[in-house]
Every structure is written in structure tokens, then in C-alpha cells.
Amino acid sequence: MFDQSLLNLSGVGEKLQETFSEMGIETINDLLFYFPNRYDVYEVKPLSELIHDDKVTIEGEVVHKPSLTFYGRKKSRLTFQVKVENIVIKAVVFNRAFAKNQINAGDTITLTGKWDHHRLQITVSNYILGQMNQSSEIQPIYGLKGELSNAKLRKIMRIALNQYGSMVDEILPTEYLNAYKLPSRSDALVHMHFPETHQQLKHARRRFTYEEFLLFQLKIQLLRKHKREAAAGNEQKFQAEKVEEFIDVLPFTLTNAQEKSLKEILQDIKSPYRMNRLLQGDVGSGKTAVAAISMYASITAGKQAALMVPTEVLAEQHVGSLQKTFEGYATVSLLTGSVKGKKRKEILQKVAIGEIDILVGTHALIQDEVQFSNLGLVIVDEQHRFGVEQRRALKDKGLNPDVLFMTATPIPRTLAITAFGDMDVSVIDEMPAGRKFVKTYWAKQNTFDRVIQFVLKELKKGNQTYFICPLIEESDKLDIQNAIDLHQQLRSFFEPDFKVGLMHGRLSTVEKEQVMKNFAENEIQVLVSTTVVEVGVNVPNATVMVIYDAERFGLSQLHQLRGRVGRGNAQSYCILLADPKSEIGKERMRIMTETTDGFALSEQDLKLRGPGDFFGRKQSGMPEFKVADMIHDYRALETARNDAQVMIAENRLAEEAYRGLKIKLEEEDVFSGQVLD
């Protein structure tokens, strides 16, 4: 019945139906659940409480008939005086000439509009002849297309609700409705569209927020369960004592956060499920250490491990340090495009017969001619470079290893449980003791000369410096031009004493790797770069990072960039060159200078920029909620997640009281058992 066409409603003809269709509304059901974008609240206030420039509502008596003036083409201005609390104020209405004849001296009128306190004047956006029905009125504002007006939509909505509203079935179990004191689905629906009080609206939203979150959580949790059950068994019986021993010989004690993450990972390794886990932690929080222990666990179970990193330079860096760590415990080899000929053949052979325990490389590792004898664990550094395709490649080889993704981009807790719904998440939210933090300063662009002097001092100490170039969102080309210009400018400052290198997105992979290599080997002392430098390079000798136009970057991205320095023993510095104009912009710069915690920054970022921007536009794959807001309704999200867990664990969905939920989930194909990768 709810899937009937809108033509069944009186007042909707074919033309209007078309407009609705453009808005994505095809059926009665679509219409009923087309919620307002926002609500305008009209509440008459005394003059003394009005704030300059605010949108206000006042009530008064028209003093004399409006006077009308025309200007420009088809433009008009209507002005009249209104007596409010014995004070005469001026009302201005633009482009509604027809109102002249509706408004007469002596009328009571309610005006809504922008208040000018100094001129005692209101620029009217809405007026009602007479008084408002209630002391305050909440008016829903819908997103609209074409000729459809808000008033018209409300009229049609009223008709639809009268005709169908009471037939809307409850889908939440009574037990939960009672526990959270939520209104019924049909009541809440009416109150979303025609709230009479703030209270009604609040509870209606609360209800749909919970409903949306619960359905979403049930969906992702069920999918995850299916995935696990469908994945081929991968039980790795590692030797706990050996792992303990390995941890004991590490030159440090694990932080509590490392211990906790490690425990979660080892549990996955031991279980017959295939691990699909994300390990998050700031740069230097000790993720790689945890990864190394996990790889060793896998090796004690007689398996091999692979560590995949984004670039060859990084692969080389990792191999060096891992070979030291694993001396006497496991064999570690490098396999990248640069490993060629006889050497390559030899490594491939050793991997195939299981003589190499740990293979490190770029993602060519799991493709092409590489055949593992018994791959148990794959670790992927900077997870965004590894996708479904790579997983398929593994599967095609008949391999179902546990997979651990590592990222230094902290995802706010809020987003983590939604964005990575089908992934388990471990978090290292604590730094090893005694870590030196990068000192961060905010400088105005016109202090550039002093910045240069500062850099020069560091260079003379034998340290290296990054300059990150202005970011111009719309244009790759300009980005690169900026980098080229800055490169020229800096060369004239620093050369011949210090060499200045250049890196940007137009360089080929080989060229980029070469520049990075030169910088890593200190053949270049100053590196000018666009943000391509962001991904995981490690040059411990670099102590200064100067970021141009820092206000254009997100806080998380700035933090990510900042993480390129402070990797050695020397004190490091990050200088943000920025002249932000807005208060928010200035606030962001201050936050950067004061906060070194990536998670705190990412939460701030989320608040300031919203979830869409967080992962970059569009690519986020974030769920879209109609009513719920992941940031403000975080508590509800957690509640829904826990409830969903219980419902699934106790197999409640089979019960009668859960039928409504089950039907909803079936509509979304959750039970089809379709497993992604």
C-alpha cells in the first residue's frame, strides 16, 4: 500500500509527480519519510530581548497603511510602521507588492525577519495577519525542487498523513520502546512533519535516530558475521611462550595500549576466523612493534608473514630494522621492483619453499609470480592503498591469510564504528614514555625571512627540512607551479651550501622514489614538496617542517604532515605559515600548536568540517542517515550498537516481536548471505 504512486493523493497531478520524482520521491512511503531539512521556530519575544542581526518574531499593531515604492526591474519595497509595546518600529517587506492591500492600519500583525537594533527596523521574511496560534510555532522547512513550495509540500504531507499515517507499522520491539521511552513509529512520523511542541519534535527525532542506528548496526554486524562464517578457516596455533620470550628481548616494555591491541590481534590469529582488523595509532605510537610481534606469532605457528608498504623506500627502511629485530628469530627479505635477476629468482624460490619467514615489499608482494609456501598473516601499512582487488588476488591463489591494516590517520571513535563497520578496530592511543613532541609554531606569512633564518640554523647543525607547498584545491596545475616557484626561491637562499630538491604529483613513481631516496640519504637537505610526501616516509634526520597556507589543510592532515619530523632523537619543529581570516581558522591554528594528540585533532576536525570532508569527498562510503547525526548522537549510536550485538548473539531476530526489524533488514538483502570479497 505504501508503495503506491503519489497520484493516489488528492492534489498531486502528473506535473507534481514529476517534480517529486526529481526529488527521489516516488511512492507514498518515500513521501512520508521525506523529512524536513530544518525547522524554523517562531516565538514572539519582547523588544528588550531581541538581538541585533538575529532572526526574530514580534507582534504589534499596524500604525498606517504601507507605502510602496518600485525600483529596478520588478523590484519593490513596502514599508510601514508598527507599534510594539508602545514603541514605533519600522517594517520593510521586499518584492511583495501585493501585500499592500492586505495590511491595514489598526491590524494586529506578527512579523518574522532580521532585526536591526540601531534603526529599530525589521526586514520581514514572513508575516501573519493576526496573532500566532501558539506562543511559539515550529515550522518545518523541506528541501524543494521546481515549482513546489514549502507550503504546498506541507499541504500534501498533511493529506498523506491523514490518509496513511495511522497505518504505519511499528518495527521496534515494545521492550526497547518502553526502555528508552520512545514514541511509536506513526506518532513520531506525524511529529517530524507537524511538531506542536519542541518536546514532540525532540522525541520523534530521538526515535528515528535510534531506529536508523539500530538498523545500520544490525546490518553491518550481520554482514560481518556472514563474512566470518563464510571465510575459510584460518586457525593459527601460535606458541605463546615463544611469543612472550620474543617480547621480553625487545629493547622496551610495551605500553598498555600496545598490550591491549596485541591481545586483540593474537586472539584473531588463534581463532578460526579470518582476521580483518584495523590498527590505528599516531606516528611513533608503536604499531610496527605490535605488527612485528604478531608476525612472529604467526611464524611460531609454522606460517609466513608479509608486510606491505606504500613505497619502495619505506620497504627498504622496514627491512633494515626488522632484520635487526628478528635476528635469531626469523628470516626477513625484501622484494620490490628493484630486486631483479638472480637475486629475485632466489628470493622467490625461498618464499615458495618457506625458507623466508617474512617478506617485505610494496603490493607487488601478493601479486604476480610470488608464491608463498604457507602465508598466514598479511600486514598492510597505510591501509588506504590496499583494496578489495588485492584481497581477491590473495584468494585466487587459494590463500586466506589474516589481514591487519595499520594506519596513522586517526579516525575519530565516532566514525570508526560506522565507517569500518565490517572491520574490527584496535587503537593505540598512548605514546611510549619519554617521547619528544614536535614543537609547533604558527607564524604569519610575512615573517618568512625569520623562518628562513631558523631553517638555516637547523641546516647548519646537519639537520634537514621539509617545505610543504601551498595547497590550491581546484587546481593540480597551480599546486605544482607553486612548488616549482618555491623551489626556485629556496635554491637562491640555500644553494650552494645546501641542496634543495623538488617533489610533486606530476613526477613519475620512479622519479618520486629517487627524490625521496636522495632526501633519505641526505644528498638533498631541503625538500620542497606538495602533499605527496604525506605517506609514511621516515627520515629521522629531518627536524623542521614548514607548511605554507596551513589554514587550507584539515587538522588531521596537518598532523599527518607534522608526523614526518620528530622521528629521530633531536627536537623537531613544525612551522605553520598561515594568515587565516576567520575566527575558526585562527582557532584551528591555535589547536595545532597546542595539541599533539592525533585523536583529539581528528575529533576536532570532524566537528569543524563534518564527516563528509573527513575522508575526502565522496570516496568515504559513509552511511547516510536521514535523521541521525553521528557526531551529536554518538551515545545513541553506541546504545544501538550494543543492542544489535545482543539481538544477534541471542538470535532474537527470529522472535515475533522482532518481525518488523527482520522485514526491514530483508528489504536490504542483509540475509542473502552475499559476502563481499
Q: Which does 284 bind (CB under 5 to 8 A by kind): Mg ion, ligand ADP, none?
A: ligand ADP
Nearer CB in complex with ligand ADP: 151/433: 433
* Least distance to ligand ADP, CB of residue 337, Å: 24
Binds Mg ion (CB under 5 A): choice among 221, 234, 288, 604: 288
Cell of residue 365, nine digits = 608482494
The piece of 197-205, 280-288, 331-339, 504-512 that touches Mg ion (CB under 5 A) is 280-288
The span from the CA of 611 to the CA of 621, in Å, is 11
* Least distance to ligand ADP, CB of residue 305, Å: 16
Q: Which does 209 bind (CB under 5 to 8 A by kind): Mg ion, ligand ADP, none?
A: none
**Residue 287 interacting with ligand ADP (CB under 6 A):** yes
Binds ligand ADP (CB under 6 A): choice among 140, 286, 401, 566: 286
**Residue 560 interacting with ligand ADP (CB under 6 A):** no
* Cα–Cα distances in angstroms (integers) from residue 252 to residues 258, 320, 524, in the given order: 12, 19, 33
Closest CA to 420 of 178, 221, 596, 575: 221
Residues pairing with 60 in the sheet: 109
Nearer CB in complex with ligand ADP: 362/560: 560
Q: 592-611 burial, b for 16+ CB within 10 Å, e for fewer?
A: beebbebbbbbbbbbeeeeb
Binds ligand ADP (CB under 6 A): choice among 57, 217, 236, 285: 285
Q: What is the DSSP letter of 194?
A: S
**Residue 327 interacting with ligand ADP (CB under 6 A):** no
The span from the CA of 647 to the CA of 400, in Å, is 29
The span from the CA of 93 to the CA of 76, in Å, is 8
**Residue 258 interacting with ligand ADP (CB under 6 A):** yes
C-beta separation of 431 from 408 below 8 A? no
* Least distance to ligand ADP, CB of residue 514, Å: 24
Nearer CB in complex with ligand ADP: 191/559: 559
**Residue 283 interacting with ligand ADP (CB under 6 A):** yes
* Least distance to ligand ADP, CB of residue 8, Å: 60
Q: Which does 592 bind (CB under 5 to 8 A by kind): ligand ADP, Mg ion, none?
A: none
Say how far residue 472 (Cα) sits from the centre of its chain. 21
Q: Which does 311 bind (CB under 5 to 8 A by kind): ligand ADP, Mg ion, none?
A: none
SS3 93: strand
Binds ligand ADP (CB under 6 A): choice among 165, 183, 337, 432: 432
The piece of 126-134, 252-260, 265-273, 299-307 that touches ligand ADP (CB under 6 A) is 252-260
Nearer CB in complex with ligand ADP: 281/410: 281
Q: Which does 286 bind (CB under 5 to 8 A by kind): Mg ion, ligand ADP, none?
A: ligand ADP
* Least distance to ligand ADP, CB of residue 166, Å: 57
The piece of 35-43, 180-188, 284-292, 649-657 that touches ligand ADP (CB under 6 A) is 284-292
Inter-helix orientation angle 555-562/598-614, to 10°: 130
Q: Strand 542-547 vs strand 573-577: parallel, antiparallel, or unpaired?
A: parallel
Amino acid in the structure at residue 406 = M
Closest CA to 665 of 648, 649, 677: 648
The span from the CA of 432 to the CA of 286, in Å, is 8
The piece of 141-149, 207-215, 282-290, 302-310 that touches Mg ion (CB under 5 A) is 282-290
Task: Look up cell 609554531; give the residue.
Answer: 441
C-beta separation of 3 from 27 below 8 A? yes
Length of the chain: 677
Binds ligand ADP (CB under 6 A): choice among 281, 376, 554, 611: 281
C-beta separation of 182 from 207 below 8 A? yes
What's the sign of the alpha-carbon dihedral 142, 148, 154, 157? Answer: negative
Nearer CB in complex with ligand ADP: 165/432: 432
CA torsion 150→155→158→163, rounded to 10°? -130
Q: Which does 432 bind (CB under 5 to 8 A by kind): Mg ion, ligand ADP, none?
A: ligand ADP
Nearer CB in complex with ligand ADP: 165/284: 284
Assess whether the previous peptide bond of 623 is cis (omega < 30° from 0): no
**Residue 568 interacting with ligand ADP (CB under 6 A):** no
Nearer CB in complex with ligand ADP: 280/362: 280
**Residue 203 interacting with ligand ADP (CB under 6 A):** no
Assess whether the previous peptide bond of 410 is cis (omega < 30° from 0): no
Residues pairing with 109 in the sheet: 60, 129
Residues pairing with 519 in the sheet: none
**Residue 252 interacting with ligand ADP (CB under 6 A):** yes
**Residue 284 interacting with ligand ADP (CB under 6 A):** yes
Longest CA–CA span in the chain (Å) reads 100
Q: Which does 258 bind (CB under 5 to 8 A by kind): ligand ADP, Mg ion, none?
A: ligand ADP
Binds ligand ADP (CB under 6 A): choice among 16, 254, 307, 459: 254
The span from the CA of 171 to the CA of 661, in Å, is 5
Residues binding Mg ion: what is the number (CB under 5 A)? Answer: 1
Nearer CB in complex with ligand ADP: 264/479: 264
Nearer CB in complex with ligand ADP: 261/639: 261
Burial category of 66 from C-beta neighbours within 10 Å (exposed 0-12, middle 13-18, buried 19 and up): buried
* Least distance to ligand ADP, CB of residue 289, Å: 4
- Non-local (6+) Cβ contacts of 413 within 8 A are 427, 599, 603, 634
List interacting residues with Mg ion (CB under 5 A).
288
Residues that bind ligand ADP (CB under 6 A): 252-255, 258, 281, 283-289, 432
